[in-house]
Amino acid sequence: MSIGMVVAPQPEPVEVGAEVLRSGGNAVDAAVATALTQTVVDPFMCGIAGFGSMHLYLPSIGRHLCLDFHARAPGAVTDGMWADLLEEEAEDGFGFILKGRVNEIGYQAIATPETLRALDTALARFGTRSLADLLRPAIAFARDGYMVRPHMHRFWTQEEPAGRVQHIEYLRGSPATARTYLNADGGLKTPGAVIKNPDMARTLERIAGDGAGDFYEGAIAREIAADMARGGGLISIEDLAACGPEETQPLWTGYRGLRVASCPPPGGGIMVLQMLNILENFDLAGMGHNSPDYIRTVAEAMKIATVDKDRSVGDPRFVDVPVARLLDKGYAADCAARIKAGEVTHVPRVGRDKESKDTTHLCVVDQAGNCVSLTHSLGMPSGVTTDGLGFIYNGCMGVFDPRPGQVGSLAPGKARFTSMAPTILFDGDAPRFIVGAPGGTYIAMGVLQAILNHVDFGMDAQQAVSAPRFSATSDIIEIVNRIPRAVEAELNGRGYRTRRYPINFHFAGVHAIRLMNGVPDGGADPGRDGMAMAV
């Protein structure tokens, strides 16, 4: 291969990653540089104090692995500490609403900050550049500024149903956050306005000089721990020192003659593979793309996988996840038979609707054929910035189940389920389709549909991520405005409840690279602000 490519939801990081490839860096170098820049220019979607999953296929050194860096509950938590605060569960399964919103915003919402350590580890093990070198573009954007993009502004102004904290509150989450992201009068900056973050530039310069260890065990770590103590947070200096990614093996299945690899639990790859196993039993192409039969069939597979996830999938360190059963082709055939018989799966929920799109993604392939699919996130931003440090902490505690004895219940050191599903399809031993997405519980559903669009309907990467999507993580089939009303009416006539959204691109922000005969073409979700760039 002589062509490399970077795809991401933000133009600035794509340019940075492409320049790394152009100057001789490999896919891991480019992915780390892209991700670091994303933490600056999309600070409510991701951050150095976030979490994620990196799927690496590195034929140049004979390695294929996942580097998972899931945020974990601090050592100070107890399983019942929030039990009496529960108001309701989100309709789509993304988190719980508590009295006082203590799990959503503020210091108690913060779980362990894993992203920086993971990026540094990936670079040290598989990259060729130094962390200091790859931090330079991120430092420059923090110091010199970047523009507010349309999707960023839309996120800030998005109305949240079900009593969730409105997104504007993330910007008001601490005085340091407000100073950076709001105007002096407290109003929102508009698209095109320039944001400068000199505090973050200085923090990244300190990390470039002293290494990522300073963030976890050195002077920065002590500043973080002191601020957590002042603010009533749960993160301790011991929690910071224990941060670090875990190398795992991808999960596998086959779909229409292709081999599919995705991340293991507590990531969402298991859902993508389970749904593909179920849907392989249907002639989807014969149904027609986004026909009533197609949407009904795929939606039922989505609901079955959602119910199984809610019952059984969590952190394998704490939960015995029945991976073999959930990915068994015989079980998938039984599920398909239920769908063919007209059975409608019910998704139990106590609550109403919420999703979290506070996540980002990138795909990279280099000139040697090394591939990286990386999803990283803040979960939901806590809104907290330590004065003088400049970065926003994750808000991952919001997804833990406050009820003791559940798959997702609180426990020290436990990670909660995430729908992140960085996935790679192979034709034999050759990578064919690299895909992933941000989008809360919609991630697995968006990734699934991009795969179906490519494999069953022959779409290239841009077509596959641009086609109208739908989602069913509850008893409601949610659809974008480009799905015809006649199709919706037929679904309603079959007894399905639907919810139409006024926007045309929704249900995750899917990004992909297709490789045909070794030549890449990229697809950036039109609902975000990003692009694909070849090198």
Cα separation, 299 vs 305, whole angstroms:
10
Which H or E run contains 53?
strand 51-58
The answer for residues whose C-beta is within 8 angstroms of residue 11's C-beta and 6 or more apart is 529, 530, 531
In the predicted structure, residue 352 carries a pLDDT above the cut 90: no
Cα separation, 470 vs 504, whole angstroms:
11
Q: What's the mean pLDDT in 97-115?
A: 91
The answer for residues whose C-beta is within 8 angstroms of residue 500's C-beta and 6 or more apart is 479, 480, 481, 483, 488
What is the model's pLDDT at position 93?
Answer: 54
Residue 291: Cβ within 10 Å count: 15
What is the model's pLDDT at position 353?
Answer: 36
Query: Bridge partners of 207?
Result: none
Q: Which of 359, 375, 386, 418 is catalytic?
A: 359
Q: What's the mean pLDDT in 108-122?
A: 97
Residue 341: Cβ within 10 Å count: 7
Cα separation, 468 vs 452, whole angstroms:
12
Q: Mapping DSSP to helix (H, G, I), strand (E, B) and coil, where does residue 378 land?
A: strand
What pLDDT band is residue 388 in, cutting at 50, 70 and 90? very high
The segment with the largest mean pLDDT, out of 28-42, 175-189, 396-410, is 28-42
Q: What's the mean pLDDT in 295-300?
A: 98
What is the model's pLDDT at position 86?
Answer: 87
The answer for residues whose C-beta is within 8 angstroms of residue 139's C-beta and 6 or more apart is 201, 204, 205, 208
Domain coordinates of the chain in residue numbers? Answer: 5-243+358-399, 248-353+420-526
Cα separation, 6 vs 28, whole angstroms:
11
Are 447 and 510 in contact by the 8 Å Cβ rule? The answer is yes
Are 362 and 84 in contact by the 8 Å Cβ rule? The answer is no
What is the model's pLDDT at position 94?
Answer: 62
Cα separation, 527 vs 525, whole angstroms:
5
Query: Bridge partners of 426?
Result: 259, 431
CA angle at residue 166 from 162 to 172, to 5 degrees? Answer: 150
Q: What's the mean pLDDT in 353-372?
A: 81
CA angle at residue 474 from 98 to 155, to 5 degrees? Answer: 60
Cα separation, 107 vs 88, whole angstroms:
21
What pLDDT band is residue 354 in, cutting at 50, 70 and 90? very low
What pLDDT band is residue 340 in, cutting at 50, 70 and 90? very high
359 is catalytic: yes
What pLDDT band is residue 355 in, cutting at 50, 70 and 90? very low
What is the model's pLDDT at position 161?
Answer: 53
What pLDDT band is residue 99 in, cutting at 50, 70 and 90? confident
What is the model's pLDDT at position 18?
Answer: 98
Beta strand 423-427 with 511-516 is unpaired
Instruction: Please tell me what DSSP assigns to residue 535.
Output: -
At 234-291, the pLDDT tens digits run 999 999 999 999 999 999 999 999 999 999 999 999 999 999 999 999 999 999 999 9
What is the model's pLDDT at position 160?
Answer: 61
The least confident of 98-107, 118-127, 405-414 is 98-107
State the DSSP string of 112-132. Answer: ---HHHHHHHHHHHH-SS-HH
With 0-12 CB in 10 A as exposed, 13-18 as middle and 19+ as buried, what is 103? buried
In the predicted structure, residue 108 carries a pLDDT above the cut 60: yes
What pLDDT band is residue 376 in, cutting at 50, 70 and 90? very high
What pLDDT band is residue 166 in, cutting at 50, 70 and 90? confident
What is the model's pLDDT at position 1?
Answer: 58
Residue 403: Cβ within 10 Å count: 17
Instruction: Tell which wins on pLDDT, 412 or 85.
Output: 412
Are 495 and 296 in contact by the 8 Å Cβ rule? The answer is no
Cα separation, 3 vs 115, whole angstroms:
28
- What tokens appear for 110 in the block? 């913060």
At 486-497, the pLDDT tens digits run 999 999 999 999
Cα separation, 16 vs 136, whole angstroms:
10
**Residues above pLDDT 90, as percent of the chain:** 85
Cα separation, 150 vs 481, whole angstroms:
19
The answer for residues whose C-beta is within 8 angstroms of residue 234's C-beta and 6 or more apart is 73, 74, 76, 77, 107, 108, 110, 228, 397
| E strand spans, 232-388 | 246-248, 251-255, 258-262, 358-365, 371-379, 381-385
- N-terminal to C-terminal alpha carbon distance within the chain: 11
At 6-18, the pLDDT tens digits run 999 999 999 999 9
What is the model's pLDDT at position 91?
Answer: 54
In the predicted structure, residue 392 carries a pLDDT above the cut 80: yes
What pLDDT band is residue 356 in, cutting at 50, 70 and 90? very low
The least confident of 1-10, 151-160, 471-480 is 151-160
Cα separation, 251 vs 257, whole angstroms:
16
State which CATH number among 3.40.190.10, 1.10.340.30, 1.10.246.130, 1.10.238.10 fits the domain covering 248-353+420-526: 1.10.246.130
What pLDDT band is residue 323 in, cutting at 50, 70 and 90? very high
